[in-house]
Amino acid sequence: MNLKVLRWLLEHRDVLTKVIEAAKKFNRDGLYIDQWSVIDEIARLVIPVFEKEGVDAASILGYDWVEDGEAEVAAFALGAEVHAMGVDWKQLVDVILPILIAILKALASE
């Protein structure tokens, strides 16, 4: 899991809320066009914020694990924050983060 992307989402709770609503429509077993529609909706929510803030897609995708256990503590803290918000962790990890990472990879390759 990319903690930087998760941190970014939690810093932008208004965007996170909208992304969660869009992601609820994602059906892994559905038609590709329907999946793409959800991905497009999420991209339209996050890309303007990335551009406004000058987010460097390559750096946010960078490896952010440290050896001394800080990342484990950070991951648990982020997990607790997500849980406190009432966000479905499974949806976040299985749907939202992979979509955001794919969007960032596409932006990084520009």
Domain count within the chain: 1
Q: How many C-beta neighbours within 10 Å does residue 41 have?
A: 17
Range of the domain at 94: 3-108
Q: How many C-beta neighbours within 10 Å does residue 70 have?
A: 11
Q: What is the pLDDT of residue 62?
A: 67
Q: What's the pTM?
A: 0.81
Backbone region of residue 69 per phi and psi (left: phi > 0; alpha: psi in -120 to 50; beta: other values): left
Structure tokens at 108: 């990084």
Q: What is the pLDDT of residue 64?
A: 57
**For the chain, percent of residues with pLDDT exceeding 90:** 43
What percent helix, strand, coil does the chain show, rounded to 5?
75, 0, 25
pLDDT tens profile 35-82: 999 999 999 999 999 999 888 777 777 655 555 556 666 666 767 777
Q: How confident is the model at residue 84 (pLDDT cuts 50, 70, 90)?
A: confident
